């Protein structure tokens, strides 16, 4: 009979604690919209700069003749075998 009373008391304490915790509302989630908007703006600005670079590269590369590989012999380069 002496072990029954502490066991019942422990069960009551444990179940009372879970009932109280179930009634506590969860914490509100932090506002994530501001960092996401900053990331979207930064990505758009980066893409715009890349597009400007590509346009400039095409303008400067346009009048240049295409590169043609030249076949050189090792003797013409200065290599001796």
* Structure confidence by residue, pLDDT tens digits, 1-36: 566 777 777 776 666 655 555 577 777 776 777 788
The CA distance from 70 to 72, in Å, is 6
Does 55 reside within a domain?
yes
Q: What would the pLDDT profile of 27-74 be if each residue is shown by its tens digit? A: 777 677 778 888 999 999 999 999 999 999 999 988 888 777 776 777
Within a domain: residue 23? no
Structural domain containing residue 52: 31-62
In a domain, 16, yes or no: no
The residue behind tokens 């043609």 is 68
Residue whose structure tokens are 């758009």: 44
- In-domain check, residue 51: yes
* 11: in domain: no
**Within-domain flag for 46:** yes
Q: Is residue 54 part of a domain?
A: yes
- Dihedral of the alpha carbons of 11, 17, 21, 24, in degrees to the nearest 10: 140
Count the alpha carbons within 13 Å of 47 in the hemisphere toward its beta carbon: 6
- Domains identified in the chain, total number: 1
Assess contact for 61 and 67: CB atoms under 8 A: no
């Amino acid at each position: 009979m002496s072990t029954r009373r502490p066991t019942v008391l422990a069960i009551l304490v444990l179940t009372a604690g879970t009932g109280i915790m179930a009634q506590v509302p969860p914490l509100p989630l932090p506002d994530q919209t501001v960092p996401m908007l900053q990331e979207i703006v930064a990505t758009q600005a980066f893409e715009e700069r890349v597009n400007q670079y590509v346009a400039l590269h095409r303008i400067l590369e346009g009048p240049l003749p295409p590169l043609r590989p030249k076949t050189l012999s090792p003797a013409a380069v200065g290599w001796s075998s």
